[in-house]
Amino acid sequence: MEVQLCFFISPIILLALYSITLHVLNKLRNLPPSPFPALSFIGHIYLLKQPFHRSLSDVSRRYGPALFLQLGSRSVLLISSPSLAEECLTKNDLIFANRPKLLNGRYFGYNYTSLSWSPHGEHWRNLRRISMVELLSSQRMQMLSCIRADETLTLVRNLFHVTRGDPDKVLEVKSALFEFMFNVLTRMITGKRYYGKNVEKSKEAKILEEIERETSKVAFETNVVDFLPVMRWFGYKDVEKKLNLIREKRDKFMQRVIEEHRRVRSASAGESDNAAIISSKSKTIVEVLLDLQASQPQYYTDQTIRNLLLVLLQGGSSTSTIALEWAFSLLLDNPQTLKKAQAEIDARVGHNRLITESDVAELPYLRHIILETLRLHPPASILLPHFSSAECAVGGFRVPAGTILLVNVWEIHHNPKTWADPEKFRPERFEGFDLKRDLGFKLLPFGSGRRACPGENLGLTIIGLGLGSLIQCFDWEKVGEIDMKEEGMVFFPVHKENVSWTPIAVINEDTERVEGLKMSGKENADANLSEMEGEDSVRTVNCLRVRLLAERVASRNARQEADQLENKLLELENLLKEEAKSRNRAEKKLKFLMKRLQSMNIPYATDESEHSGLLDTTDISSPSSLASSSTKQPEKGEIQQMNISTVSESQESNENVKSSNGDFAYRSNGCLNQEDGHDPDNHVDNSMALVPVDVPQKNQTIDPEVLDTTVKEVLDALRRAKEQLQSSMERRRMSMIKVG
């Protein structure tokens, strides 16, 4: 028993001694703080959970912004503050300019020779120069701007066609954004489209999708093997085989693209002796690299070309698509921000054309939306790892050579000491900021220093153009809720299957006009813009933009007019209802007054043929004249046309008005029902009601003074009823004129 207990306790004691010893040594060597304990073999890997950036943020908030972690066999410096990130990427930038030896770099970086994974040196500087000067320079981007404009127009038009005939159709936008971004990059790189309504899904597109899917799937497995090499023999032994297969697929795909362009160049050179190289204005990136290969074949090998093309294609498409999708999702969750952005575009760009790349720089609120999106959801939550080539000092601590540097961008962007309400989407926080001076290292979506992303300007341009066009050309609303969870190291919103978005009042459904829009003046949407003259293509695209935007504006104006007309009709309907109620009340009051006159033996007329229920009292001179006539049969005309809707004898008998016993008559202020004291309709106008007065019996002599007072009040009530009905009829007539 004691032996078994000893075997059980001994490993625990050894692990504890190892952790304590390591912790003490770190303090003696002036290393950054390290969480306790660091377990044998795995170190601090037990602290990591999905998603990694959040678990690392929790550790940083507990132990400090600079941490020294032991992840398996690797020493890691974790940085989570702007000041320390600046110190690492400026003061110590040269020391941290290398990359660690990881499996991704071996297989996807062509044995650490690619732009992303190559160590700092002459080879890396040449690749960086080619990227910045030949491929991604502002001049080259301007030459290829017509491609981006054309694909933006295609995105807008395809979204319209999807909802044509059914403006309330639910639309899943995620795939449309991916296809837009991917087509922009493939046309800039290879001159060819792989997705779209007019492009049947090609074999190449399927291969690219498969490569992307397999690469994402194997990413986590490579991380485990990189930090725990022993895991190659425990369930992860096939990781390198998978990586090798993916690399072969990538190489075959890009080599086919290169060979295809070589054949095209050879054919055009053979057609005519004067057919030299295509105009530089229409050259794709592949053609530029082939030109460089022709001048320096010993350096620009096919592997180098494949390397550069894959870095641009995969790095640009994944990060830009994720950023665009997050921006769109956040706008749908914040409709007031969406309306404000649309108002800015309408005010600055106007209604005569679509937004262009030059407009994006003049739309500060749109740019703030993009920056806030990159702050909340950076495409890379943790920058690609750096590697220290020598010992250095960071934050007063000693960092030994051979340490991997991880910069937790997500934690820097969500630090409450740097950003107020860091979890809220609030683009207004960037108002008044000098983006270069004030932001500094508070915002690092593309990294900084020598290893910063070379495609930052291109990515921001495409995101701004795509997002601005969607805001300008469509009114959007979401259907259901968006699951705003994050997934992966390069993360994206995970949407539920039933979540999508609905475009409202998209573009006027003038099918012939919309279908008549031919991209860049050609019937074939897949035609390469390199065959067109630059200025003519831009002019043609601008004309198409104007036509498309005009339809959107016309649709929006028609929608506003329809809403206004609907509101007027609702107002008229309510007015007519009130008019009917008022008329009904007035007629009931007049019926009662008629009965009251009957009880007093005052003559009245019941002719309904002329005045539609209105009283004409023009021949009524005074109450005394009526009193003098009460003892004789009245002549027709003494009271003219007291025009009310008479009721049958049975109805009159049910009115419960006692007209002969003299017990109940009414003066202004009373009730119409003498039994309960309330009007049956509860709509009595007190100015029209009457109060009890003494009424003589049927054969009793009438007191002239009492009769004068009573009849005068009755006539005043009749005149008020007439004026009320006339006023009501006039309001109704004027309302009908306005609506007509």
Residues contributing to the annotated binding site for heme: 453
Angle among Cα 670, 671, 674 to the nearest 5 degrees reads 115
Distant-in-sequence contacts of 443-447, Cβ < 8 A, 24+ apart: 443/371, 443/374, 443/375, 443/413, 444/85, 444/378, 444/383, 444/407, 444/409, 444/412, 444/413, 445/323, 445/374, 445/375, 445/378, 445/379, 445/380, 445/409, 447/89, 447/380, 447/383, 447/384, 447/407
Q: Which residue has the tokens 């990413």?
A: 219
CA dist 547 and 157 (Å) reads 11
Q: Answer yes or no: are the C-beta atoms of 113 and 101 closer than 8 Å.
A: no
Q: Is 593 left (phi over 0), alpha (psi -120 to 50) or beta?
A: alpha
* Distance (Å) of CA 83 to CA 57, 132, 136, 396: 16, 28, 30, 12
CA dist 690 and 665 (Å) reads 8
Q: Answer yes or no: are the C-beta atoms of 168 and 487 closer than 8 Å.
A: no
Sheet with 66-71: strands ordered across: 66-71, 74-79, 404-407, 386-387
> Helix or strand or coil: residue 132?
helix
Angle among Cα 621, 623, 628 to the nearest 5 degrees reads 95
Taking the CA atoms of 404, 458, 176 and 310 in sequence, report the sign of the dihedral they define: negative
Q: Answer yes or no: are the C-beta atoms of 427 and 371 closer than 8 Å.
A: yes
State the binding site. Answer: 453
CA dist 346 and 472 (Å) reads 7
The Cβ-side half-sphere exposure at 188, using a 13 Å CA radius, reads: 29
Angle among Cα 199, 203, 204 to the nearest 5 degrees reads 90
Amino acid at 307: N
Q: Answer yes or no: are the C-beta atoms of 521 and 540 closer than 8 Å.
A: yes
Angle among Cα 141, 142, 143 to the nearest 5 degrees reads 90
Closest by CA to 237, choosing from 250, 252, 224, is 224
The DSSP annotation for 446-475 comes to: T--GGGS-TTHHHHHHHHHHHHHHHHHH-E
Alpha-helical (H) ranges within 144-194 are: 145-163, 174-189
Q: Answer yes or no: are the C-beta atoms of 131 and 308 closer than 8 Å.
A: yes
Angle among Cα 326, 328, 331 to the nearest 5 degrees reads 110
DSSP code at position 392? E
Instruction: Report strand pairing: 475-479 vs 404-407.
Output: unpaired
Q: Answer yes or no: are the C-beta atoms of 638 and 603 closer than 8 Å.
A: yes
CA dist 154 and 519 (Å) reads 7
Closest by CA to 478, choosing from 458, 495, 459, 461, is 495
